[in-house]
Amino acid sequence: MSANDETQAPPPAPEPAANTDVGFPSVPGTADLPAELQDYPLQAGIVRQEEYSRLLPLVKWLLAIPHFFVLVFLGIGALFVHFIAFFAVLFTGRYPESLFNYMVGVLRWAWRVSAYVMLMVDPYPPFSLDDDPGYPARYEIAYPESVERWRPLVAWLLIIPYWFVASVLAYAASIVVFIAFFAILFTKRFPEGMFSFVEVTLRWSTRAGAYAYYLVTKYPPFAWG
């Protein structure tokens, strides 16, 4: 072995792989979540803009009407899907993946529309059930390989304490968004503290819904994030 070979620097260590514990890439806006939420099977995040349009807050509710219309029909479909999934889980212990993907798609669509009408993003939401990596509001749920058969019977009951807190937070978020409306109107900014508060309240609400529909089997932690 030559002297050059002996003194040659070792190859650089490979970069750590992305966290894939829950089965999907990390969602933007979730890096600062508490540890107990980092590996939660539902990840939802919204990227805050440095500057917002002053005019869009005046008309977002109007521009979003087509989405509200579509969500009504998607919601009707979700009722039928949930009914079928109820018996599928009850008798087989599995949530059919195609039905699961539909339910997640509806919740993802609602997440993007909520971010839009609550003034958190300016880009118009896509008309799609699929994930859009380029959109600033992202939503993912890892598919559970099995679901306990008892969950369809009591999941709605177990989530009541969490849902109660989520409802109170949602009410507070509506007040914060009202204040943020004027902040954007006069400064073109959504104050970071207000933005974070609204984002957390949206996460609480969607975690409650996902657990009630047994899309996730891990009870959502009572953690701020």
In a domain, 28, yes or no: no
| 3-class DSSP assignment, residue 29 | coil
In a domain, 75, yes or no: yes
Q: How far is CA 24 from the centre of its chain?
A: 13
Q: Is the pTM of this model over 0.85?
A: yes
- Mean of the per-residue pLDDT values of the chain: 90
Q: How far is CA 170 from CA 37, 55, 166, 177, 205, in A?
A: 19, 25, 6, 10, 7
Q: How far is CA 100 from CA 57, 86, 140, 223, in A?
A: 34, 11, 12, 26
Range of the domain at 166: 47-212
Residue 29 pLDDT grade (very low, low, confident, very high; cuts 50, 70, 90)? low
Sort 171 into a burial class: Cβ within 10 Å, 0-12 / 13-18 / 19+: exposed
User: What's the pLDDT tens digit per position in 130-170?
Assistant: 999 999 999 999 999 999 999 999 999 999 999 999 999 99
Closest CA to 197 of 141, 118, 136, 134: 118
In a domain, 96, yes or no: yes
In a domain, 38, yes or no: no
In a domain, 25, yes or no: no
In a domain, 35, yes or no: no
In a domain, 113, yes or no: yes
Domain count for the chain: 1
Above pLDDT 70, what percent of the chain?
Answer: 88
In a domain, 159, yes or no: yes
